[in-house]
A = this chain, B = another copy of it.
Amino acid sequence: MKVTELAKSLGTTADTVRYYTRLGLLKPAKSVNGYKSYSNKEVSRLKFILSARNLGFSVADIKQILNESEDGKSACPLVRSLIKERLEETEKQFQAMLALRGKMSSALSQWEEMEDKAPTANMVCHLIENFEQIKKA
């Protein structure tokens, strides 16, 4: 199987396959013409990688998990602990985005009723520089 073939069969891009290969997550054989040749084992490996990415694991996480399982050990404990970390991070980012979204939409609606002003020596844009979010009661 060639790069593009593998990629399409799992609904991803050739660049993604190349990226994982570069990192050593996939280990294709070299075909005669120098092209990479992927076996069925690589297909299921890639399937795993894509599932894990979809669940929020980082590529580095996945590398770790694959290493563990290559030693014949169960990766389950590692997987549980990693997802706990990732979920915490996601939660933080989520809260940050929630706050940002609020700020932005508040700014947008405020600014629609405000006039344009030319810049001055110490003010680039009064919309931004005078913005203060209205606090929720």
Contact = CB atoms under 8 A, between A and B. Distances in A.
Interface of A: 41, 44-45, 47-48, 51-52, 54-57, 65-66, 69-70, 72-77, 79-80, 83-84, 86-87, 90-91, 93-94, 97-98, 100-101, 103-105, 107-108, 111-112, 114-119, 121-129, 131
Q: Which of A47, A83, A119, A127 has the most CB of B within 10 A?
A: A119
A91 B121 CA distance: 35
A57 to B, nearest CB: 8
- Chain A contact residues: over half helix, strand or loop, or mixed? helix
B101 A97 contact: no
Contacts of A125: 48, 65, 69, 74-76, 79
